[in-house]
A = this chain, B = another copy of it.
Amino acid sequence: MNPQAQPQRYERGLAKLREIDGQAGEHVVSSLADIAPDFARYLIEFPFGDIYSRPGLDLRSREIAVVAALTAMGNAAPQLKVHLQAALNVGVTREEIVEVIMQMAVYAGFPAALNGLAAAREVFAAVD
């Protein structure tokens, strides 16, 4: 199986990845080229071609969900940073991002929220 076999799904996913994650998303994909090129394709096809392309939930809500989950899990710092940028890209404001992260103190503890805020500070500073 190769991308050509499902052009619609792969192309739709790639466009969605670019819309949401921007350069950071493309960097993730290209970094997989040497070690797991098929995984780069799956990443485009399933999360972006299938899930993010679904009409039932707006992208702002989807990124709020991801920032919340990755902050709460606390074991995926690089991906949290990609999605803090993605949240900004799709229109979540800095204030809203900070609110989501602070709320995670209630569900995953203060350390998770503190580490999420540190990641947000870093991403916001890179934008400025």
Contacts and interface: CB of A to CB of B under 8 A. Distances in A.
B110 A70 contact: no
Contacts of A71: 69
A72 B74 contact: no
Chief secondary structure at chain A's binding surface: helix
Contact of A68 (B65, B79, B105, B111): B65
A117 B69 contact: no
Contacts of A79: 107, 110-111, 114-115
Q: Which 10 A-B pairs have the closest CB atoms?
A: A76-B111, A65-B68, A57-B99, A69-B72, A74-B75, A79-B111, A47-B106, A56-B99, A68-B69, A75-B75
A103 B34 contact: no
Name which of A5, A67, A70, A107 has the most chain B CB atoms within 10 A of its CB: A107
A98 B37 CA distance: 11
A13 to B, nearest CB: 12
Contact of A105 (B31, B39, B100, B120): B39
A52 to B, nearest CB: 8
A73 B100 CA distance: 16
Nearest to A67: B65
A21 to B, nearest CB: 12
